[in-house]
Every structure is written in structure tokens, then in C-alpha cells.
């Protein structure tokens, strides 16, 4: 039995470039999308979209317009330090809720934080820190991602949470604030 060997020769199809009179061949390789007018881009707000509106986060539960906020807004860096090391919070767990008005997950967990602050008012003091207004406080506590909860007792960190899962936040409050 004999085997026959077949050779395969691919057919080459020539590519044809049609150039106009003012185009050179090498102009075809110049990408057109790399030309960026940075001044026009900056004038319209970066990528063209308007910058997000930074609204204050309300920690009141939805549907309760008159409820008293158990979450205290921190006004400046000195107030944040006073909250952490102040005598009025001695023995209590101080919860720093780092958030921003443009953060959707921060807005999502705000009512949960408010409810937990009211439920644990005897053992915890909850403070809201807007990182857009108090960037130095966020930097001092190494906060780079939102939403973030930092739990401190007498100035020592006893808990840290990054995320927006309401059940995990409730479990963290139960575990940390009920041990006082």
C-alpha cells in the first residue's frame, strides 16, 4: 500500500488600498483616536459627563421625616478627634461612618446605620464623616474606599468594615457594641 503525499499551497489574495490624492500609505497607520484635545475635555468636565452632585447623606430612615438623627455629622478634624478621644464617649464604641454624597452604596446603608445607632445609643456613638469635606480625617485613618465603618473604643480600633451589606453591618454592631 502506498501513501501519496499532497502538498497544500494557500491562495494569496492581494489587499488593495485605495488612497485619495492627499493620503499617503503611512497615514493609514496613524490612529485617529489618539488625538485628544485636553483643554476641551477639561472644559466639559473630564469625559464629557457632568460631575456628580455631592448631596449630603441623610441618615434618617426612609418614611420617617421627623425622626431624630442618632448619627452625628462631624464638622471638622478637631471634632472627629474629640469624638474619638473625648470623655463623653469613654467606654463607648465610637463608630466613624466614612461616606460621600456621590456614593450610592453609602446612601443605601445610611438608614441601616441610623437604626443601629438608635438601637445601640447606650453603648455606641456613631459619627458620619463626609470624605469630600474632611479629606484629612479620611487620610489619617487610611480610608481609600467607601463605604467604610471604623469602630474604636478608647481610641483603639476594635472593628473595621468595608462594604454595603446591611446584614454584615448589623452583625458587626451586635458583636462589637454589645461587649461594653
Query: Annotated active-site positions, please?
Result: 103, 106
Q: What is the DSSP string of 115-161?
A: HHHHHTTTTEEEEEEETTT-HHHHHHTT--SSSEEEEEETTEEEEEE
Distances (CA, A) of 40 to 14, 30, 33, 86, 172: 42, 22, 15, 49, 47
How far apart are alpha carbons 60 and 66 in whole angstroms? 8
How far apart are alpha carbons 174 and 116 in whole angstroms? 9
| Residue position matching grid coordinates 441601616 | 112
Amino acid at each position: 500500500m502506498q501513501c501519496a503525499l499532497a502538498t497544500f499551497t494557500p491562495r494569496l489574495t492581494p489587499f488593495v488600498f485605495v488612497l485619495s490624492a492627499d493620503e499617503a500609505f503611512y497615514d493609514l497607520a496613524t490612529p485617529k483616536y489618539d488625538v485628544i484635545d485636553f483643554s476641551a475635555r477639561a472644559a466639559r468636565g473630564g469625559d464629557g459627563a457632568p460631575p456628580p452632585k455631592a448631596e449630603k447623606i441623610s441618615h434618617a430612615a426612609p418614611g420617617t421625616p421627623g425622626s431624630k438623627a442618632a448619627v452625628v455629622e462631624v464638622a471638622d478634624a478637631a471634632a472627629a478627634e474629640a469624638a474619638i478621644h473625648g470623655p463623653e464617649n469613654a467606654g463607648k464604641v465610637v463608630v466613624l461612618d466614612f461616606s460621600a454624597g456621590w456614593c450610592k452604596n453609602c446612601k443605601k446603608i445610611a438608614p441601616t446605620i441610623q437604626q443601629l445607632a438608635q438601637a445601640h445609643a447606650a453603648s455606641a456613638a456613631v459619627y458620619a464623616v463626609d470624605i469630600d469635606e474632611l479629606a484629612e480625617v479620611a487620610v489619617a485613618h487610611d480610608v481609600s474606599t467607601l463605604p467604610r465603618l471604623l469602630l474604636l473604643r478608647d481610641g483603639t480600633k476594635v472593628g473595621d468594615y468595608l462594604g454595603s451589606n446591611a446584614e454584615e453591618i448589623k452583625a458587626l454592631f451586635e458583636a462589637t457594641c454589645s461587649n461594653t
